[in-house]
């Protein structure tokens, strides 16, 4: 079973696994478009009918990629989907003797702080909640997965904390910024950032599922760069804005014509959050195939193609 199946990362993961496994796709937001050969469902994990999928398909492995982003819904609905929904999913995993579980978390759980060390490994405290309440659901999801990781070892659970996932068809905040001709920069700040290509992230998820070494792992390259330089290489013109919260998120939202700019991201555009992905690389024999230059070239070339009236 792959959750979040309507998302770009899940589609890549399913594409890599479908020849070896019978895939069941689930999403609570919209119908996954994966073709007639893959059973696909739209449903709330908290509803009674969700359990029927486990019964009908004899599920023996779960890749949990489904998570609502902060700009997709209200905090209450997000908490219900991300935390309570994950709890229901993991309880069903225990009930139906699931043998392998992958949970996608995020590097945001570490929190953006001027006191962060240069490299954050997996033992670093999860400080995000102390810095912003908008990440409560992300940290709660992590804590919940941690409880199941140690209490139900038979699940053989692996928790992945990737850095910014970017590349073709990725629609998170960072990818949308890099795709624009003009992007905001907070005056006086240009934090270091890491990026993993969506194809490398999909490979990391499939490696974690197939090699099945339980634990918590950062997923990030050894390469990073400062935000202003990243924008330049992606073909974006920086628009410098004063850092005056809480007006700033609304200003950025109006400028970007977005329904809402996630306010919690402001600190991540001030302070570096660089994670150490060496444990995952050593454990799973993983090396990213796409460099930072490859990632940024995609955004740069897509702008050129759009200016020439071409599809990219």
d(C-alpha 99, C-alpha 218), whole Å: 22
Question: pTM here?
Answer: 0.91
The tens place of each residue's pLDDT in the chain, 312 residues long, gives 999 999 999 999 999 999 999 999 999 888 888 888 899 999 889 888 999 999 999 899 999 998 876 666 677 777 888 899 999 999 999 999 999 999 999 999 999 988 899 899 999 998 876 656 667 888 899 999 999 999 999 999 999 999 999 999 998 889 999 999 998 888 889 999 999 999 999 999 999 999 999 999 999 999 999 999 999 999 999 988 876 665 666 666 666 666 556 666 788 889 999 999 999 999 999 999 999 999 999 999 998 888 777 655
d(C-alpha 149, C-alpha 240), whole Å: 44
44: its two tokens: 């709330």
Gyration radius (Cα) of the chain, Å: 19
What pLDDT does residue 4 have? 93
Length of the chain: 312
Tracing tokens 């330089």 back to the chain, one arrives at: 229
Residue 239: count of CB within 10 angstroms of its CB: 13
Q: pLDDT digit string (tens) for 30-49?
A: 888 888 889 999 988 988 89
d(C-alpha 75, C-alpha 191), whole Å: 27
């Amino acid at each position: 079973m792959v959750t979040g199946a309507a998302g770009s990362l899940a589609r890549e993961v399913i594409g890599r696994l479908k020849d070896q496994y019978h895939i069941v796709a689930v999403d609570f937001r919209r119908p996954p478009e994966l073709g007639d050969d893959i059973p696909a469902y739209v449903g709330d994990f908290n509803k009674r009918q969700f359990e029927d999928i486990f019964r009908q398909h004899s599920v023996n492995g779960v890749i949990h990629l489904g998570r609502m982003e902060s700009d997709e819904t209200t905090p209450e609905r997000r908490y219900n989907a991300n935390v309570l929904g994950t709890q229901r999913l993991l309880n069903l995993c225990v009930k139906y003797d699931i043998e392998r579980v992958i949970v996608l978390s995020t590097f945001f759980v570490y929190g953006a702080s001027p006191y962060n060390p240069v490299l954050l490994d997996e033992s670093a405290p999860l400080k995000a909640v102390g810095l912003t309440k908008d990440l409560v659901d992300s940290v709660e999801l992590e804590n919940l997965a941690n409880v199941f990781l140690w209490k139900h070892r038979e699940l053989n659970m692996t928790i992945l904390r990737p850095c910014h996932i970017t590349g073709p068809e990725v629609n998170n905040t960072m990818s949308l910024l890099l795709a624009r001709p003009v992007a905001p920069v907070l005056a006086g700040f240009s934090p270091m950032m890491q990026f993993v290509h969506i194809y490398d992230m999909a490979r990391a998820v499939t490696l974690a599922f197939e090699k099945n070494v339980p634990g918590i792992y950062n997923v990030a390259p050894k390469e990073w760069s400062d935000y202003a330089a990243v924008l330049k290489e992606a073909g974006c013109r920086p628009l410098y804005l004063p850092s005056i919260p809480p007006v700033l998120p609304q200003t950025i939202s109006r400028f970007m014509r977005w329904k809402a700019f996630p306010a919690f991201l402001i600190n991540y555009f001030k302070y570096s959050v660089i994670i150490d992905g060496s444990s995952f690389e050593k454990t799973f024999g993983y090396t990213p195939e796409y460099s930072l230059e490859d990632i940024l070239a995609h955004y740069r070339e897509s702008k050129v193609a759009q200016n020439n009236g071409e599809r990219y």
